[in-house]
């Protein structure tokens, strides 16, 4: 199914997991929102990971083939990271897991971040604030905010509460930040209701017997 027909899914409560959810089966057919370069740009915009002006500049300065190549890199990164998360969700990470995260550190070496003091535009109490900027030198630099989101997931998130939706055919993952850690579904609208309907049907069937 064409990703342009349906907005990307952001329900994971953690940007790194939202990235894993950039391929999903919301109805019957699989949708991959980053299946090409245009898709990657659109997904990054929806995820608010890259400023819109940067995406526009990237689009005008790069060839479609260059952007498609970065999207392919992003998909490879996504599936490698999915393996990491699937193997470790439900328990805290340990220092031993660091070795497997080496690809993220290798990508970070190419990042060109710099800090800048700017006026606080939010109207808060501080007049000045420190902002992190990035030089977007090549289409590949579009991977950097994704790498950052994945790194934040492993550094800040308690993997004990990283879960896969219990929907039988659902592949969506999320960080369960509910108070009792009782979240079971990607969303009530997608899998929660499906489960309720299935349970209801089962009860009806049992009554018929």
- Note whether 9 binds Zn ion by CB under 5 A: no
- Note whether 186 binds Zn ion by CB under 5 A: yes
Mapping DSSP onto H, E and C, the string for 26-73 reads: CCCCCEECCCCHHHHHHHHHHCCCCCHHHHHHHHHHCCHHHHHHHHHH
In the complex, minimum distance from the CB of residue 147 to Zn ion, in angstroms, rounded to a whole number: 26
- Note whether 40 binds Zn ion by CB under 5 A: no
| Residue (77 or 191) nearer to Zn ion, CB | 191
- Note whether 167 binds Zn ion by CB under 5 A: yes
* Helix and strand numbers, DSSP H then E, in the chain: 7, 6
| Residue (103 or 192) nearer to Zn ion, CB | 192
Q: Which residues pair with 148 in a beta bridge?
A: none
- Note whether 14 binds Zn ion by CB under 5 A: no
In the complex, minimum distance from the CB of residue 26 to Zn ion, in angstroms, rounded to a whole number: 9
In the complex, minimum distance from the CB of residue 129 to Zn ion, in angstroms, rounded to a whole number: 38
In the complex, minimum distance from the CB of residue 165 to Zn ion, in angstroms, rounded to a whole number: 3
Contact present, 82 and 64 (Cβ < 8 Å): no
Among the listed residues 55, 107, 143, 191, the single contact to Zn ion using CB under 5 A:
191
Q: What span, in angstroms and rounded, lies between the C-alpha atoms of 60 and 132?
A: 24
Q: How far is CA 47 from CA 21, 50, 175, in A?
A: 11, 8, 16
| Residue (44 or 170) nearer to Zn ion, CB | 170
| Residue (26 or 145) nearer to Zn ion, CB | 26
Among the listed residues 150, 170, 173, 175, the single contact to Zn ion using CB under 5 A:
170
In the complex, minimum distance from the CB of residue 7 to Zn ion, in angstroms, rounded to a whole number: 16
Closest CA to 78 of 47, 114, 109, 112: 47
In the complex, minimum distance from the CB of residue 188 to Zn ion, in angstroms, rounded to a whole number: 10
Q: What angle do CA 133, 135, 136 make, to 5 degrees?
A: 120
Total chain residues near Zn ion (CB under 5 A): 6
How many residues does this entry show for the chain? Answer: 209
- Note whether 165 binds Zn ion by CB under 5 A: yes
Strands 113-119 and 23-24 come out as unpaired
**Which residues are at the interface with Zn ion (CB under 5 A)?**
165, 167, 170, 172, 186, 191
């Amino acid at each position: 199914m064409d990703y342009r027909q349906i907005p990307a899914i952001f329900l994971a409560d953690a940007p790194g997991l939202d990235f894993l959810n950039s391929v999903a089966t919301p109805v019957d057919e699989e949708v991959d929102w980053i299946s090409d370069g245009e898709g990657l740009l659109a997904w990054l915009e929806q995820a608010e990971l890259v400023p819109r002006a940067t995406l526009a500049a990237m689009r005008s300065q790069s060839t479609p083939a260059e952007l498609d190549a970065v999207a392919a890199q992003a998909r490879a990164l996504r599936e490698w990271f999915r393996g990491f998360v699937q193997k470790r969700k439900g328990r805290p990470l340990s220092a031993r897991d660091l070795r497997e995260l080496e690809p993220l550190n290798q990508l970070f070496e190419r990042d060109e971040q710099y800090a800048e003091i700017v006026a606080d535009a939010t109207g808060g109490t501080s007049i000045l604030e420190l902002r992190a900027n990035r030089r977007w030198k090549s289409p590949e630099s579009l991977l950097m905010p994704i790498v950052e989101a994945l790194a934040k997931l492993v550094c800040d998130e308690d993997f004990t509460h990283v879960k896969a939706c219990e929907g039988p055919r659902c592949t969506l993952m999320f960080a369960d930040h509910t108070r009792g850690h009782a979240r079971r579904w990607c969303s009530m609208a997608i899998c929660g209701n499906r489960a309720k309907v299935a349970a209801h049907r089962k009860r009806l069937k049992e009554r018929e017997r």
